A = this chain, B = another copy of it.
């Protein structure tokens, strides 16, 4: 019963954040007239109306620890969701993972076309950086530069793109646990870590508190990725809104493939507990972040 209640709370809190961020994204990506309207519609299609908004939730909850105004946090959350959305659009392309389904609807290159999907992803990335640098995001330009730097590091060849490259280069090869951990730390971990850290950057927190949130984010990210792989191994397309069983079919390197389902689940739960322990310096305002750690390893979609 306790667990059920906590799950209900976190789901409600995430829904509330999702609504705030949806409205922010909508206003940051306005439709335009002219022949370029198509790429803007594709950007909106890829970004609006879907997803758990895990990264946005991390930003908003982290920012609340430092009493950052919600409008500022929502802009950073929207920026990271744009970056994440671009990465999914490019991931789904035929030359990449070749996925026709995303969040239960046709992926962007299916709803539009490949060229438009490539362009929409490109423009979403540019917009993500731009939003961080806009004066509305924070009065202090040093804070805005810090955000741009952290996103650049998380998104580029030393982060997400580097992780995707390892993932592709490793297909058909056998990676060990250390290599898979590094792959996933780069591919999904860095951006989740930045999401958890962004509130501390916005709040000009001490290096110690920023580091605590970064560590929380890194461990949460790994737990989240293993849970995602467990869903792929066990879930159905109806539950997850995307094709499942693809990792095994593609011979993809995952912790689930290396450890087996039950040990992987235990490992994810331990990581989630470790993430929660990182929050000991925060009071009850970190309740959302604590509950989230439980949520990511028990979610069914």
Q: Which A residues form the contact surface with B (CB < 8 A)?
A: 32, 34-36, 38-40, 43, 86-87, 90, 93, 95-96, 113-116, 118-119, 121-123, 125-127, 129-130, 132-135, 140-142, 144-145, 148-149, 151-153, 155-158, 161-166, 168-170, 179, 182-183, 186
Q: Which residues from chain B contact A114 at a C-beta distance below 8 Å?
A: 95
Determine if B157 and A39 form an interchain contact, defined as CB atoms under 8 angstroms apart.
Answer: yes
State how many angstroms separate the Cβ of A161 from the closest Cβ of chain B: 4
Q: Which residues from chain B contact A161 at a C-beta distance below 8 Å?
A: 39, 119, 122-123, 126
Determine if B122 and A125 form an interchain contact, defined as CB atoms under 8 angstroms apart.
Answer: yes
> Contacting A157 at CB < 8 Å: which of B127, B148, B165?
B127
Q: Which residues from chain B contact A166 at a C-beta distance below 8 Å?
A: 34-36
Determine if B162 and A36 form an interchain contact, defined as CB atoms under 8 angstroms apart.
Answer: yes
Q: Which residues from chain B contact A157 at a C-beta distance below 8 Å?
A: 32, 36, 39-40, 43, 123, 126-127
* Nearest-neighbor residue (CB-CB) of A126 within chain B: B156
> Contacting A36 at CB < 8 Å: which of B118, B142, B163?
B163
Known: A34-B162, A39-B164, A126-B161. 8 other contacts (CB 8 A): A35-B165, A36-B163, A38-B169, A90-B118, A95-B114, A95-B118, A133-B133, A145-B148
Determine if A145 and B118 form an interchain contact, defined as CB atoms under 8 angstroms apart.
Answer: no
* Nearest-neighbor residue (CB-CB) of A149 within chain B: B133
Determine if B119 and A133 form an interchain contact, defined as CB atoms under 8 angstroms apart.
Answer: no
Determine if B155 and A126 form an interchain contact, defined as CB atoms under 8 angstroms apart.
Answer: yes
Determine if B152 and A130 form an interchain contact, defined as CB atoms under 8 angstroms apart.
Answer: yes
* Nearest-neighbor residue (CB-CB) of A137 within chain B: B145
For the complex, give the distance between the alpha carbons of A135 and B96 in Å. Answer: 35
Say whether, besides A115-B96, A127-B152, A90 and B141 are in contact (CB < 8 Å). Answer: no
Top 6 A-B pairs, shortest CB-CB distance: A130-B152, A95-B114, A126-B156, A36-B162, A133-B148, A39-B165
Determine if A118 and B93 form an interchain contact, defined as CB atoms under 8 angstroms apart.
Answer: yes
Say whether, besides A32-B157, A36-B165, A133 and B116 are in contact (CB < 8 Å). Answer: no
Say whether, besides A32-B157, A162-B39, A186-B36, A152 and B168 are in contact (CB < 8 Å). Answer: no
State how many angstroms separate the Cβ of A295 from the closest Cβ of chain B: 29
> Contacting A148 at CB < 8 Å: which of B93, B130, B156, B169?
B130
24 contacts between A and B (CB under 8 A): A36-B162, A36-B169, A38-B169, A39-B165, A40-B162, A95-B113, A95-B118, A96-B115, A96-B118, A115-B168, A118-B118, A119-B165, A123-B157, A123-B162, A125-B126, A129-B129, A130-B152, A133-B133, A133-B145, A133-B148, A133-B149, A134-B149, A140-B141, A145-B148
For the complex, give the distance between the alpha carbons of A158 and B39 in Å. Answer: 10
For the complex, give the distance between the alpha carbons of A271 and B121 in Å. Answer: 34
Determine if A38 and B165 form an interchain contact, defined as CB atoms under 8 angstroms apart.
Answer: yes
